[in-house]
Structure 1
């Protein structure tokens, strides 16, 4: 049956499909809309129509799912929010190309063969999400697999196939529903049984955290973006952090502060004019007064890079420093996956000339670090570091040659409106499951959380509140299959699905 107005329906279905992501978590709507979309693609009268149907679905999907980006523009050089919505639409027009390509290729492989089409679509969705994670530096926010977090044991399958493979399971489940509507029982039943089996099995109950694990304190000061860099607020903001950090007992602990927690520079060696009268020795002494012997403070701060000949700063790094109770820096991590147009401006001379330097204000850009690495915190273990949205990149968050005991994800979600922080938290939970490692999140305004290696939230501080979490660090698991092999697993699954679809097509001929 040919639907009237398929393009409008596809756009609408794409928008509704995004309601399955946090904070709404309306996952049944996502499954229904995916099934409807696949039916629309299959009924297309040409490859061009199939591509356009896929593209419009993606436009609706990303506009709704990424609406929080508009809020970020209100903090970026005080730009109006309407300009942010233009950016959301433009970004969505680009990102929609990926589901469009999946739709086109699945249509070509599975024309008039629904089972072939579904297998091909599931495999192609894996490939297009993986491409979205690295093409043009990558932006894989809200992989479809994150919809599975409320669905029983389904998210646990990511230890075998990663979050991209999890997305394929959702596509297959939606495809089974579509086949059921077509009364193709034999083809629908295996897909629906797999989907129902994974979603109906209860999630494992979190076990007790060993008393031998290090103590931790996670601080959320509730410092809004409008106050973060305001002149004269340095001492007030530090006082909020200090008040939430001080404690009575003397047991060594790891203290976690958010991304860019302080505006001061912690490293020595810069020209004096860059310290604004607050030399690093003084700043570190201030921070050390909040610590007890054996403590380690892990916090976000900036590092400058200098032109040695001219003695001037030419770049910066968004860094995380570890400092011991003797005021000594014992490690540093530099953010690797930077945000284009936020932390650096591509083609800065050209774009500055046409007035776009406001997107990444300043005289120079942030420089990327070398990638995932682990910091040795001595008796308190090893920390893997991923700053802010770096945590969304499946398979790229851990140094596999020096596996940490946990991942620390300092972030500044104050930019992200009301939808961004819960979506960010959901993706951090997926990384915990995939890698078998606990994830600790500290943000200025929420959501800060302690996530165990099964992806369960053990403790959290809600958005818009000041607070702290005192806990033991959850235990790491043995390296999962995904932790050992990374995205080779979902890409291998994609290959199997595509070869199976081709084999069925050939056999049918």
Structure 2
């Protein structure tokens, strides 16, 4: 093996990165991820120069992201203005950029600990935390599939995210991989504590469920199984509404919260727009239709669009991807506007240049979406407070709940119909990690799946598989007490990174 690595280091780094991504959903082959991380650690450690270490990290990241993000290519099949093959080009181009972050982690660890294996493991774990955190916000951020999400099937390991977030959890996976590598090198002394900690957390059973309180509100989660190809098709409005209605109507009169997906209806719910924008369906009529599906005391929480106008010209100049809460009296009780918008999906960067060469954003429409102000809670009266995170906003660790006005749960309406077969289970896994971090239940409603009720321990209480229409009738799981991470956020993750890096530097200095 050593001879093979010496002859083809960069090809093996690329393959190792690709195989490492099989630890994410839907394959969940986490032992392969640990083995590939251990192999990558060995390769970076043996690099002959900083340039070689950086390139080894970059190629590993390239393979890792191309495989893990393959679902992005599916989104291009729904956009007639762009060729389908462009989706695969987009996956590669995005991966070329994202691979810079593992490369920086490799370079930093190599600089700090290239001469001492134990020091190197501490350094790579700390650097990975920092680079994942950077990936979450640099250039608007794209932190899909943080490494820590692989820990969900491993006993109580994912509970570490309550204290150090998902980025800190990623460092623990490096501790396990580093322990394997040190064992292979017969470095028993530094390997032993790493293996014991990792194995201990992985083997301790997790009490995954909490008792259901009859005092908690009743909820209904609707999944209509409306595919992306039918969502905005002319003439399908009533047919799609009929699917939602059929799954919403019920016999009992107990008040409940009804959850519909992102952009569940094409109609506008707010009054005050010029009449031509309502296309003959004024908001009063639409609200009356929706109200007819509700029982007294119900609350409907659904995705819909909001328009922004140039008041002087009286024309729409932007839109917001919003979530509205409407009571049984057809009154709007709150609105949340999506803050983390998808580049090229909900808005087109450098629009004058890119539109001139024929590119458009993936979501249909004539103008771009505008971002909202960020996490906030909506008061639903007797049902408590809802934190809203639309679609992929739920992936941003530490940004999903208003710390000054803590919600009782998080609602994550999404449209995963874009995401192929790999995207939805990965999305669900990241929502589970947010539930553990914040100590809050997460409710997901999507058009085609996977819709789910997730309790505050990250356990899936109920779900509807991909490609099926259905509804979930349940009680809203209780929130846990605020976790340490819920109080302080990613300052804890970065604090752990600082401790790891300072420890590595201190060991290096002492050895000299």
- 1:351 alignment partner in structure 2: 354
For structure 1, the 5+ residue unaligned runs are none
The 2-side partners of 1:214 and 1:484 are apart by 25
How many residues were matched structurally?
A: 509
The 1-side partners of 2:360 and 2:403 are apart by 37
Would the aligned equivalents of 1:10 and 1:37 in 2 still touch at CA under 8 Å? yes
- 1:410 alignment partner in structure 2: 413
The 2-side partners of 1:151 and 1:168 are apart by 15
Would the aligned equivalents of 1:173 and 1:195 in 2 still touch at CA under 8 Å? yes
SS in 1 for 2:410: strand
SS in 2 for 1:495: helix
Report Cα offsets for 1:218-273 as digits up to 9, x if no partner.
Answer: 00000000000000000000000000000111111000000000000000000000
Decide which of 228, 232, 235 is 1:229's aligned counterpart: 232
The 1-side partners of 2:459 and 2:39 are apart by 32
Decide which of 491, 505, 509 is 1:506's aligned counterpart: 509
The 1-side partners of 2:361 and 2:264 are apart by 23
Question: How does 1:301-312 map onto structure 2 within 5 Å?
Answer: 301-312=304-315
Question: How does 1:335-346 map onto structure 2 within 5 Å?
Answer: 335-346=338-349
Q: Give the deviation of 1:78 after TM superposition.
A: 5.7
Q: Does 1:433 align with 2:432?
A: no
Q: Does 1:388 align with 2:378?
A: no
Q: Does 1:329 align with 2:323?
A: no
Q: Give the deviation of 1:349 after TM superposition.
A: 1.3
Report Cα offsets for 1:453-477 as digits up to 9, x if no partner.
Answer: 0000000000000000000000001
- 1:372 alignment partner in structure 2: 375
Q: Give the deviation of 1:77 after TM superposition.
A: 3.0
- 2:108 alignment partner in structure 1: 105
SS in 2 for 1:195: helix
Q: Give the deviation of 1:208 after TM superposition.
A: 2.0
Question: How does 1:68-83 map onto structure 2 within 5 Å?
Answer: 68-77=71-80, 79-83=82-86
For structure 2, the 5+ residue unaligned runs are none
The 1-side partners of 2:148 and 2:52 are apart by 27
CA RMSD of aligned residues (A): 0.9
- 1:318 alignment partner in structure 2: 321
- 1:203 alignment partner in structure 2: 206
Q: Does 1:176 align with 2:176?
A: no
The 1-side partners of 2:210 and 2:366 are apart by 50
SS in 1 for 2:293: coil
Decide which of 41, 44, 69 is 1:41's aligned counterpart: 44
- 1:470 alignment partner in structure 2: 473
- 1:59 alignment partner in structure 2: 62
The 2-side partners of 1:32 and 1:53 are apart by 16
Would the aligned equivalents of 2:303 and 2:322 in 1 still touch at CA under 8 Å? yes
Would the aligned equivalents of 2:345 and 2:361 in 1 still touch at CA under 8 Å? no
The 2-side partners of 1:347 and 1:79 are apart by 17
The 1-side partners of 2:266 and 2:119 are apart by 56
Provide TM-score, normalisation by structure 2.
0.98
Question: How does 1:439-478 map onto structure 2 within 5 Å?
Answer: 439-478=442-481
Would the aligned equivalents of 2:165 and 2:493 in 1 still touch at CA under 8 Å? yes
Q: Give the deviation of 1:361 after TM superposition.
A: 5.2
Q: Give the deviation of 1:360 after TM superposition.
A: 5.8
SS in 2 for 1:81: coil
The 2-side partners of 1:113 and 1:208 are apart by 49
Would the aligned equivalents of 1:77 and 1:359 in 2 still touch at CA under 8 Å? no
Q: Give the deviation of 1:207 after TM superposition.
A: 2.4
Would the aligned equivalents of 2:411 and 2:442 in 1 still touch at CA under 8 Å? yes
Would the aligned equivalents of 1:77 and 1:361 in 2 still touch at CA under 8 Å? no
Provide TM-score, normalisation by structure 1.
0.99
